[in-house]
């Protein structure tokens, strides 16, 4: 929702929609300590035009001018340097889940100022969640003695299908009653600031792309396995959303085309019809339990249903029972990932999930399955397959980065 901006004349962000303002602001951010003359050359603008824009940006408190650079070979006055004023504004990044919400407050360089987590019962009402969020955000603003007028915007990741233009949820299976209700507009009315709402996997993908494993890529696929499975897609440095925000919703794919593959999948497949059911946390737990019971082997002592990582650690240590379940898991996951690679031909596939992340055996088996499937195609060496680097931080960092584009790249998301 990039069209809604604060109307406070002292903090008027609307002019930032102009291409030159955002271009210069982005140059100043990237070229730490740049002179007006250097800025004019990079932007291919006149010194007069640059000075006018710099004056406006300084009046808003977004940039500062300090220090002295080197004088030219001809001598003369040493130029002052331009910097982003990190404290010139702040943003909120929010990740809403079924039983908790994480909030990060950051400055306009993306540096964390503060964070908070709100826990609640599953399926909270929209009204209840909004009240809890605004109370927490107000407290964070007050604790750091920030003025609400300095709020640049709010980025929110939610599970479900999202209309990124209106900020409403079109479908929210894990947030009962939230669909087709005013969502972004509530925050806009309360904080008088822009709000961007995105699908949680899309916003996680954006964070991993900008600040994690995909930092040097132009395109990327992220596949996340948590309580289900989903994919995020970056193409030509932009998120791919689809008409209903449903791009990458691979959990809704039917398993019928994979029946021949699944017939020997002894532990992981038990009649599920859809990919999301197969990769649910509950099914993964049951698959490990069934395997250990059938092999009459006692599960790891530290096992509990909320920490599946112990089984992946066991596989790394050579445990044959854990490895058999992971073999079943990566067999079908390898087919799914191979299809994504063949269809999208992205330069990188990032695998994300707290349970298995950093498991050497899991990644090795998945890479093997994918290579087996795409070996007969010309794409066999085109895609790098890696783990995500940010893990649970990806969504929050993605939300912060997405909303900061209001300042630096305001055409993102249109």
Q: 157 forms bridges with which residues in the sheet?
A: 95, 198
Q: Is the CA virtual torsion 315, 317, 321, 327 positive or negative?
A: positive
pLDDT (average), residues 205-228: 93
Helices 19-30 and 394-408: crossing angle in degrees, nearest 10, is 130
- Residue listed under structure tokens 């990582």: 309
Higher pLDDT, 363 or 19: 363
**pLDDT, tens digit, 9 for 90 and up, residues 20-51:** 888 899 999 988 899 999 999 998 889 998 99
3 vs 228, residue with greater confidence:
228
8 A C-beta contact, residue 196 and residue 154: yes
The residue extents of the domains of the chain are 9-87, 89-207+394-408, 216-389
Q: Given the DSSP bridges, would you call strands 348-352 and 384-387 parallel, antiparallel or unpaired? A: parallel
Q: 6 pLDDT band (50/70/90 cuts)? A: very low
- pLDDT reading at 130 higher than 90: yes
Report whether 91 contacts 397 (CB < 8 A): no
With tokens 């509950």, the residue in question is 282
pLDDT of residue 290: 87
**Tokens of residue 276, six digits:** 């999301």
Question: Average pLDDT in the 105-126 region?
Answer: 94
SS3 194: coil
Which of the four pLDDT bands, split at 50, 70 and 90, describes residue 131?
Answer: very high
Higher pLDDT, 73 or 356: 356
Q: What is the pLDDT of residue 346?
A: 92
Helices (H) and strands (E) in the chain, counts: 13, 14
Identify which has the larger pLDDT, 136 or 180.
Answer: 136
Look at residue 10 and tell me whether its pLDDT is greater than 60: no
Query: How many residues are given for the chain?
Result: 414
H or E stretch at 229: strand 228-235
Distance CA 93, CA 397 (A): 7
pLDDT > 90? residue 363: yes
Q: How far apart are CA 84 and CA 76, in angstroms?
A: 26
% residues pLDDT > 70 (the chain): 89
Alpha carbon distance 250, 223 (integer Å):
9
Q: Which of 130-139, 152-161, 334-343, 372-381 has the lowest mean pLDDT?
A: 372-381
pLDDT band at 76 (very low <50, low <70, confident <90, very high): low
pLDDT for 77 = 65
Residue 188 is predicted with a pLDDT of: 95
Q: Judge whether residue 412 has pLDDT over 60.
A: no
pLDDT at 260: 79
216-389: what CATH class?
alpha beta
Q: What is the pLDDT of residue 267?
A: 75
List the one residue out of 161, 159, 158 whose CA is nearest residue 245.
Answer: 161
Q: pLDDT value at position 126?
A: 93
Cα distance between residue 200 and residue 66, in whole Å: 40
Q: Please determine whether the domains at 89-207+394-408 and 216-389 fall in the same fold group of CATH.
A: yes
Return the residue matching tokens 């001809």.
Answer: 74
CATH code that applies to domain 89-207+394-408: 3.30.420.40
Residue 12 in this model has a pLDDT that exceeds 60: no
pLDDT over threshold 50, residue 310: yes
Question: Model confidence over 236-250: pLDDT tens digits?
Answer: 988 998 888 889 999
How do residues 140-163 score in pLDDT, each as one tens digit? 999 999 999 999 999 999 998 998
Interacting residues of 43 by C-beta distance below 8 A, sequence separation 6+: 20, 23, 24, 27, 50
Rounded CA gap, 257 and 271, in Å? 13
**DSSP per position, 263-324:** TT-TTT-SS--BHHHHTSHHHHHHHHHHHHHHTT-PPPTT-BTTBTHHHHHHHHTT-HHHHH
pLDDT at 74: 54
User: Looking at domain 9-87, does it have CATH number 3.40.190.10?
Assistant: no
pTM for this prediction: 0.86
Phi and psi torsions of 411, nearest 5°? -90, -5
Identify the helix (H) or strand (E) that includes residue 165.
none
What backbone phi and psi angles, to 5 degrees, belong to 201? -70, -35
Q: What pLDDT does 4 receive?
A: 30
Q: What is the dihedral of CA 310, 311, 314, 318, to 10 degrees?
A: -160
With a cut of 60, say whether residue 182 has pLDDT above it.
yes
Query: What's the confidence (pLDDT) of residue 184?
Result: 93
Residue 317: per-residue pLDDT: 94
Residues 6+ apart with CB under 8 A from 129: 96, 101, 120
DSSP 1: -
Whether residue 224 contacts residue 352, with contact meaning beta carbons closer than 8 Å, is answered with yes
């Amino acid at each position: 929702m990039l069209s809604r901006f604060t109307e406070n004349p002292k903090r008027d962000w609307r002019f930032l929609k102009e291409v030159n303002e955002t271009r210069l602001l982005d140059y100043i951010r990237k070229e730490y300590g740049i002179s007006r003359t250097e800025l004019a050359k990079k932007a291919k603008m006149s010194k007069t035009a640059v000075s006018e824009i710099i004056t406006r940006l300084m009046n808003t408190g977004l940039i500062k001018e300090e220090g002295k650079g080197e004088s030219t070979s001809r001598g003369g006055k040493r130029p002052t340097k331009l910097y982003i004023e990190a404290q010139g504004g702040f943003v909120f990044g929010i990740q809403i889940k079924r039983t908790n919400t994480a909030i990060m407050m950051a400055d306009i360089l993306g540096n964390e100022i503060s964070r908070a987590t709100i826990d609640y019962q599953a399926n909270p009402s929209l009204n209840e969640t909004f009240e809890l969020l605004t109370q927490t955000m107000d407290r964070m603003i007050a604790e750091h003695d920030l003025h609400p007028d300095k709020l640049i915007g709010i980025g929110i990741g939610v599970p479900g299908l999202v209309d990124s233009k209106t900020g409403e949820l079109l479908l929210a299976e894990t947030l009962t009653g939230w669909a087709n209700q005013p969502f972004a507009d509530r925050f806009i009315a309360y904080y008088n600031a822009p709000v961007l709402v995105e699908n949680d996997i899309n916003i996680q993908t954006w964070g991993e792309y900008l600040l994690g494993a995909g930092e040097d890529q132009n395109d990327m696929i992220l596949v996340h396995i948590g309580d289900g499975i989903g994919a995020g897609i970056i193409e030509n440095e932009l998120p791919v959303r689809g008409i209903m925000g449903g791009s990458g919703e691979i959990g809704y794919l039917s398993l019928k085309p994979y029946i021949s593959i699944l017939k020997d999948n002894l532990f992981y497949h038990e009649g599920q019809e859809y990919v999301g059911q197969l990769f649910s946390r509950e099914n993964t737990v049951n698959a490990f339990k069934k395997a250990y019971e059938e092999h009459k082997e006692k599960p790891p002592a530290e096992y509990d249903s909320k920490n599946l990582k112990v089984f992946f650690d066991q596989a790394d240590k050579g445990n044959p029972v854990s490895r058999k379940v992971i073999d079943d898991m990566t067999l079908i996951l390898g087919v799914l990932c191979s299809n994504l690679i063949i269809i999208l031909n992205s330069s990188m596939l990032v695998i994300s999930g707290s349970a298995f992340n950093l498991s050497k055996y899991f990644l090795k088996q998945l890479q093997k399955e994918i290579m087996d499937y795409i070996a007969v195609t010309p794409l066999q060496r085109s895609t790098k397959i890696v783990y995500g680097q940010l893990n649970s931080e990806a969504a929050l960092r993605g939300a912060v980065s997405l909303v900061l584009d209001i300042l630096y790249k305001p055409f993102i998301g249109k």
